């Protein structure tokens, strides 16, 4: 539909109405990933992005192997992996005292449970540029780049939003069944909906400095939290040739003073000579810890920085946002295509809020651990007894035992969830070889959707009703017979159980037990998905 707005004192404005399955506001890395995954699922996506160009300075610097794995399912894992920094000699992450003497930590690894390098340093402009290009050039995506989103209306059966170009051209009215707001920490969509932040108790000002290295620098490959009583400092060995420092601001220090080039160079002087780097970016940020109180309002979903804020100590800000996109990207197609009921989408908040909150609280615990270790050193300087380490901080440091949390609720078999189980956790993806000698990552057998994985072909004994349910969901059935792990290992659940259902996001939905048959598992899946 095309409407003409007449005002004799102004140029003629054409207002065009465009209809989509999904509208995305914000085409940063989270929005771009959502657009790619939803478009690959066959949905028509309209994406509105205010900025004409990708932001050219670094922000996020670490990508989890879990995210590379999600892109593997849509044929882009190898390309994204090629953008990542490979593990360098001696690379590690940990904690140090004021003299930068190593206290504890963990070595970097080049292969993990997701079948890719677990932690990947990257340069955001490069990655974000690739993801945006893949999104806007996808045949199922119509991108409105350089447009401002406004006038959101949730009409019950769908949403409507206005896209106005910055250059004053024609206005577009976008309609869709659902809308995903990926429009950043200052999200206009979130504010319009009256969704509030819930503070998780960490607000401190830090100076963040990114540099480009030159020859002759004296920096190694250790990412380190320096627990100096005089100034907490984080040094991040990002993708070559870049590096980052984060300096916590002390009482009385101003942003104006901290951003002076001489101040910055004085802070870096203990690390490397001044002629061995160029300052790429310097900014003062207040590190926040917060989640929104509602992740869904009617037909609108909040995702990415619009939904959660975290201190950067775990490198989970962008990763958490990408998990939001991955979570929605398999649920929305089921609902829009009429396979599952809208109630399935209520599991978005049930799954993502607790998971993101756990990681934010872990990042806060790392900040608290830095403060505690600095207090210990200060006590030693003063000749006093060091304070006891609070139990909540003992596992917070890298390599000290704390792991990624499972899903605690939502579209999983919740009665099987535990801190030592498999349900609710990511399904292990080893590199395997089959009987024909072919080598591949296990997910390449599982396909892009649900998978029913059994130890042997004989373990696949189900009723006709269950077969019908699996067919409706296009579930791929995979036997592990004849597969030899070359790197990594088969999921630990197969040490005691014979079959499992794995979700499209590679979370284990549930597994068989002595009291849970495969038919029981399929029925539970049907119930949790609210199949129509």
Distance CA 241, CA 161 (A): 42
Arithmetic mean of pLDDT over the chain: 95
pLDDT by residue (tens digit) across 458-498? 999 999 999 999 999 999 999 999 999 999 999 999 999 99
User: Mean pLDDT, to the nearest integer, of 512-521?
Assistant: 96
* CA–CA gap between residue 254 and residue 277 (Å, rounded): 24
Which token pair is 265?
């160079």
457: which DSSP letter? Answer: G
Residue among 425, 370, 353, 325 nearest 200 (CA): 353
Q: What is the pLDDT of residues 7-40, one digit of tens each?
A: 545 555 678 999 999 999 999 999 999 999 999 9
The model carries a pTM of 0.95
Which helix (H) or strand (E) segment holds residue 511: the answer is strand 508-511
pLDDT of 77-124, one tens digit each?
A: 999 999 999 999 999 999 999 999 999 999 999 999 999 999 999 999
Find how far residue 216's CA is from the centre of its chain. 35
Spatial CB neighbours of 310, under 8 Å, sequence gap ≥ 6? 288, 289, 316, 317, 320, 356, 359, 360, 363
Using omega within 30 degrees of 0 as the cis cutoff, is the peptide bond preceding 401 cis?
no
Q: What is the pLDDT of residue 2?
A: 47
Q: Which two tokens stand for residue 519?
A: 């038919």
Is pLDDT at 42 greater than 80 in this prediction?
yes
For residue 174, what pLDDT is reported? Answer: 98
Per-residue confidence (pLDDT) for residue 342, from 0 to 100: 97
Torsions phi, psi for 107 (to 5 deg): -80, 150
- Exposed/middle/buried for 19, CB within 10 Å: 0-12, 13-18, 19+? middle
Beta strands 92-96; 222-228: pairing state: parallel
Predicted pLDDT at 213: 98
- Helices and strands (H and E) in the chain: how many: 12, 26
In the block, tokens 């024909």 appear at 436
DSSP H/E element including 208 = strand 197-213
Residue whose token pair is 């004994």: 461
Percent of the chain with pLDDT over 90: 92
More confident residue, 176 or 288: 176
pLDDT at 277 over 60: yes
pLDDT score, position 11: 56
Residue 100: strand, helix, or coil: coil
Predicted local confidence at residue 467, as pLDDT: 96
Over residues 363-384, the pLDDT tens digits come to 999 999 999 999 999 999 999 9
Specify the pLDDT at position 202. Answer: 87
Rounded to whole angstroms, the Cα distance separating 51 from 31 reads 13
Q: What average pLDDT does this structure show over 230-254?
A: 97
Which of 355, 77, 324, 309 is CA-nearest to residue 200? Answer: 309
Using DSSP, state whether 452 is helix, strand or coil.
strand
The domains of the chain, with CATH numbers, are 2-83+121-197+290-342 (3.50.50.60), 414-529 (3.40.30.120)
pLDDT in tens, 393-424: 989 999 898 888 999 999 999 999 999 999 99
Asked whether 277 and 329 are in contact (CB, 8 A), the reply is: no
CA distances for 379 relative to 234, 338, 372, 387, angstroms: 22, 64, 10, 8
Q: What's the CA gap between 509 and 498, in Å, rounded? A: 14
* Burial class of residue 118, CB neighbours in 10 A (0-12, 13-18, 19+): middle
């Amino acid at each position: 539909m095309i409407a003409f707005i007449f005002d004799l004192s102004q140029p003629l404005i054409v207002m065009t109405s465009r209809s989509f399955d999904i509208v995305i506001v914000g085409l940063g890395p989270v929005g771009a990933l959502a657009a790619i995954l939803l478009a690959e699922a066959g949905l028509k996506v309209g994406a509105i992005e205010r900025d004409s160009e990708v932001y050219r300075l670094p922000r996020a610097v670490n990508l989890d192997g879990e995210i590379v794995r999600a892109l593997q399912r849509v044929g882009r894992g190898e390309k994204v992996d090629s953008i990542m920094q490979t593990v360098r000699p001696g690379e590690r992450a940990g904690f140090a005292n004021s003299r930068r003497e190593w206290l504890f930590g963990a070595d970097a690894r080049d292969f993990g449970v997701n079948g890719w390098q677990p932690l990947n340093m990257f340069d955001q402009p490069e990655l974000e540029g690739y993801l945006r290009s893949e999104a806007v050039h996808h045949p199922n995506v119509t991108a409105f780049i350089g447009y401002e989103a406004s006038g959101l209306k949730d009409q019950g059966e769908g949403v409507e939003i206005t896209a106005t170009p910055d250059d004053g051209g024609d206005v577009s009215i976008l309609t869709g069944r659902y809308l995903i707001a990926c429009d950043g920490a200052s999200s206009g969509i979130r504010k319009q909906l009256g969704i509030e932040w819930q503070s998780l108790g960490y607000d401190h000002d830090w100076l963040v400095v990114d540099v480009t290295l030159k020859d002759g620098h004296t920096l190694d490959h250790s990412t380190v939290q320096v627990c100096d009583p005089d100034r907490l400092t984080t040094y991040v060995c990002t993708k070559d040739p870049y590096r980052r420092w984060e300096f916590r601001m002390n009482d009385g220090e101003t942003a104006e003073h901290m951003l002076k080039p001489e101040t910055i160079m004085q802070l870096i002087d203990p690390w490397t000579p001044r002629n061995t780097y160029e300052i790429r970016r310097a900014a003062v940020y207040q590190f926040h810890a917060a989640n929104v109180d509602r992740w869904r309002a009617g037909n609108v979903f909040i995702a990415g920085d619009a939904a959660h804020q975290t201190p950067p100590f775990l490198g989970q800000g962008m990763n958490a946002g990408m998990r939001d996109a991955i979570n929605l990207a398999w649920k929305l197609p089921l609902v829009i295509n009429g396979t599952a009921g809208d109630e399935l989408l209520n599991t978005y908040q049930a799954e993502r809020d607790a998971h993101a909150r756990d990681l934010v609280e872990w990042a806060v615990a790392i900040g608290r651990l830095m403060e505690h270790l600095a207090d210990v050193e200060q006590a030693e300087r003063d000749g006093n007894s060091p304070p006891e380490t609070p139990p909540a901080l003992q596992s917070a440091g890298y390599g000290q035992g704390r792991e990624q949390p499972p899903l605690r609720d939502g579209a999983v078999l919740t009665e099987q969830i535990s801190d030592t189980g498999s349900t609710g956790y990511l399904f292990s993806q080893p590199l395997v070889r089959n009987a024909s000698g072919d080598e591949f990552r296990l997910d390449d057998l599982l396909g892009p959707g649900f998978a029913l994985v059994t130890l042997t072909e004989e373990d696949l004994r189900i009723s006709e009703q269950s077969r019908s349910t699996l067919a409706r969901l296009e579930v791929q059935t995979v036997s592990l017979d004849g597969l030899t792990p070359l790197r990594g290992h088969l999921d630990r659940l197969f040490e005691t159980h014979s079959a499992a259902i794995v979700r499209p996001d590679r979370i284990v939905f549930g597994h068989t037990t002595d009291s849970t048959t495969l038919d029981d598992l399929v029925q539970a899946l049907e119930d949790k998905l609210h199949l129509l």
